[in-house]
Chains A and B, each alone.
Chain A
Amino acid sequence: KNEVEQSPQNLTAQEGEFITINCSYSVGISALHWLQQHPGGGIVSLFMLSSGKKKHGRLIATINIQEKHSSLHITASHPRDSAVYICAVHYNTDKLIFGTGTRLQVFP
Chain B
Amino acid sequence: DGGITQSPKYLFRKEGQNVTLSCEQNLNHDAMYWYRQDPGQGLRLIYYSQIVNDFQKGDIAEGYSVSREKKESFPLTVTSAQKNPTAFYLCASLNIGAGFSTQHFGDGTRLSIL
B58 touches A95 (CB 8 A): yes
A98 touches B43 (CB 8 A): yes
Task: Report the interface size for chain B: residues with CB under 8 A from the other chain.
Answer: 27
* Chain A residue nearest in CB terms to B43: A98
**Which of B60-68, B73-81, B93-101 lines the interface with chain A?**
B93-101
A97 touches B42 (CB 8 A): yes
Which bracket fits the contact residues of A? 20 to 34
Q: Secondary structure of the A side of the interface?
A: strand
A45 touches B104 (CB 8 A): yes
Find residues 50-95 in chain B having any chain A CB closer than 8 Å to their own CB. Answer: 50, 58, 88, 90, 92, 94
B42 touches A94 (CB 8 A): no
**B42: which of A2, A45, A90 is its contact (CB, 8 Å)?**
A2
A30 touches B100 (CB 8 A): yes
Spell out B's residues near A (CB within 8 Å).
9, 31, 33, 35, 40-45, 48, 50, 58, 88, 90, 92, 94, 96, 100-101, 103-108, 110
